[in-house]
Amino acid sequence: MQQKMKKWNQALNKLITKKNVLIITILITILLLVPVLWVSFYTVPSADDFSYGKETMNVLQTEGIGKVVTGSFKTLNEFYHTWQGTYSAIILFSLNPGILGKNAYFLTTFLVLGIFFLSLAYLLKQLLVKALKLDKKSYWIVLLLFFLLCMETLVDKTQGLYWWNGASYYIIFFSLELLEFALLIKQYWLKEKTKTNTIILLLLIGIIGGGNFIIALQQVIILFFLNIYLLIIKKDKSALPYLAISILGLGISATAPGNKFRQKNVTGMNPVKAIILSFYFCLKFMTEWTNAINIIVILIIGYLLYPTYKKVEKKYSYPLIVVLFMYCILSAEFTPTLYSMSSTGEGRLLNIIYFSYLFFMVISLYYIVGYFRNVLKTNKITTKNAAELGNKYIKDNSFLLLGTVLMVLGLALYYGREDLTSYQTLALLRTNEHKTYQKEWLERYKVLEDDSIKDVTFKPLTYYPYPIYYCDFSEDRDNWLNEPATIIYHKNYIEIEGKEDKNGKHKKKNN
């Protein structure tokens, strides 16, 4: 019996190669992406999409690209002086896919996921393949696993994937920061310093400085400590311009006249109290986000990264300092919103903090394992024979180990499936809510685009399908949700029949 099991295991080991695992991972990624992307074809602009798009929406085909560019800068001038100073973000908001036409808004999901994936791929290539010498098959598996983990377990699916204003403000700027980190790794770890690299870095840092305050502040902090390291250890001043641009960008954004007007509508917090509470909320959310799915996927990634310890010998001498430093960086992401609004912010903001948390967990695990590996080697606890025995055990029992991992992961995914993006979007596709929702919006567009109709009263939507629905017009024709669309479509007013809930969104008849 034991001999038969051994033969079965050897045969299965030949089948379960890293190449085949990669192929399966690619197929699973495609399969899970299908419902997530499919429902995007039923999305429509809402809320701030109209506010920031009133100068650019519906003018590309009729008045040309020049009008769009002019409209973007007009939008920037207006909001910089009346609402917020995030100059790069305002330009991005004005260019939402809705300007291409009512049927183009689905590009929101494709762009957000595409930009995030490409940025993540480029960063991990520099870090894992070039710096840590990870083989390319393992790199692709790690990339796809981490991408799927981020996509499937988003804190707020609606604001992260299906609403341009929320998704672009946070996930796209987070993606740009990943590109920045990749270029910094190229320049200071891989020693691939070029003029092109420097110019792109300066532009990226300037753009990120005009994005959301969380990423802009984090950028300043990281570049500050990078400069401290380079100046003290390497006597290198080359990163000082990067720090200067990041501070300048954040300063231009933070001192905008519009911020004063916006601040009148919210209650801020003492900066010292905000910093202290940042550490508390960071720990609170880390506790909430640490679940079976995250732990198992991160452990699998750690297992795939293990061979890099032998290829690139590092000391990993300060695990406690590294973990505490990363915890401080993660905590700092809570500070701007606590300071300005006395809250941790909406789901769209928590999305990128959650992404940072996942990076925090992987890097911490990698560094801690590296530290203990070196301790064992130094104390000669791991002998050559012991290592050979361990390798032989893994090789001889790889099918059993893989089966155990897949079983545990499968159970975690099964019991946590209702929180996964692909499950939620597939559940929506099994209904007709998304089709009814789109049909009713197309009927609304016929009215909006009819110049002979000036007074517009819409009936409430039949469904408010999750996760593609974010917000509707208000029953109050003077509400900020209605006024921009009134301007775009040249109406006297737009209103919705019926009552609203206290949050200004119509109550859902069916979730």
Say how many CA atoms lie within 13 Å of 455 toward its Cβ: 0
Average the pLDDT over 351-368 and give the result: 94
Lowest mean pLDDT among 186-190, 267-271, 493-497: 267-271
Say how many CA atoms lie within 13 Å of 64 toward its Cβ: 1
CA distance 207 to 212: 10
pLDDT band of 12, cuts 50, 70, 90: low
Q: For the purposes of burial, counting CB atoms within 10 Å of the CB of 184, is it exposed (0-12), middle (13-18) or buried (19 or more)?
A: buried
- CA–CA–CA angle 423, 428, 429 (5° rounding): 95
Bridge partners of 458, per DSSP, are 496
Residue 194: partners with Cβ closer than 8 Å, 6 or more residues away:
none
Higher model confidence: residue 110 or residue 385?
110
List the alpha helices (DSSP H) in 230-318: 240-254, 257-263, 271-289, 292-305, 308-311
Token pair in block for residue 195: 């003029």
Higher model confidence: residue 405 or residue 156?
156
- Compute, in degrees rounded to 10, the torsion defined by CA atoms 185, 186, 191, 192: -170
CA nearest 255: which of 215, 213, 285?
Answer: 213
Average the pLDDT over 193-198 and give the result: 90
> Which range has the top average pLDDT, 58-67, 111-120, 371-380, 492-501?
111-120
- Compute, in degrees rounded to 10, the torsion defined by CA atoms 187, 191, 194, 196: -30
Average the pLDDT over 282-310 and give the result: 90
Query: Using an 8 Å Cβ cutoff, are 452 and 489 in contact?
Result: no
The pLDDT value given to residue 385 = 47
pLDDT of 149 higher than 60: yes
CA nearest 202: which of 253, 236, 239?
Answer: 239
pLDDT band of 314, cuts 50, 70, 90: confident
Lowest mean pLDDT among 7-11, 352-356, 485-489: 7-11
Token pair in block for residue 235: 């006597």
Which residue pairs from 193-198 have beta carbons closer than 8 angstroms and sit at least 24 positions apart in sequence? 193/238
Q: pLDDT tens digit string along 383-413?
A: 444 444 444 545 555 555 556 666 666 666 6
The pLDDT value given to residue 8 = 61
Query: Using an 8 Å Cβ cutoff, are 274 and 217 in contact?
Result: no
pLDDT of 161 higher than 70: yes
Average the pLDDT over 262-290 and give the result: 86
Q: Helix, strand or coil for residue 427?
A: helix
Bridge partners of 305, per DSSP, are none
The pLDDT value given to residue 3 = 65
Query: Above pLDDT 70, what percent of the chain?
Result: 86
Q: Helix 240-254 crosses helix 195-209 at what angle (to 10 degrees)?
A: 20
pLDDT of 453 higher than 50: yes
pLDDT band of 13, cuts 50, 70, 90: low
Lowest mean pLDDT among 150-164, 204-218, 255-269: 255-269
The pLDDT value given to residue 14 = 66
In angstroms, what CA-CA distances link 122 with 167, 180, 186, 222? 20, 10, 11, 19
- Is the peptide bond between 45 and the residue preceding it cis, with omega within 30 degrees of 0? no
pLDDT of 499 higher than 80: no
Mean pLDDT (the chain, rounded): 85
Query: Above pLDDT 90, what percent of the chain?
Result: 54
CA distance 71 to 50: 13
Say how many CA atoms lie within 13 Å of 348 toward its Cβ: 20
Higher model confidence: residue 388 or residue 297?
297
Lowest mean pLDDT among 173-177, 322-326, 388-392, 412-416: 388-392
pLDDT band of 505, cuts 50, 70, 90: very low
Query: Using an 8 Å Cβ cutoff, are 378 and 320 in contact?
Result: no
Instruction: Spell out the domain ranges in the chain.
Output: 431-511
Specify the pairing of strand 493-496 against strand 455-458.
Answer: parallel
Query: Using an 8 Å Cβ cutoff, are 205 and 246 in contact?
Result: yes
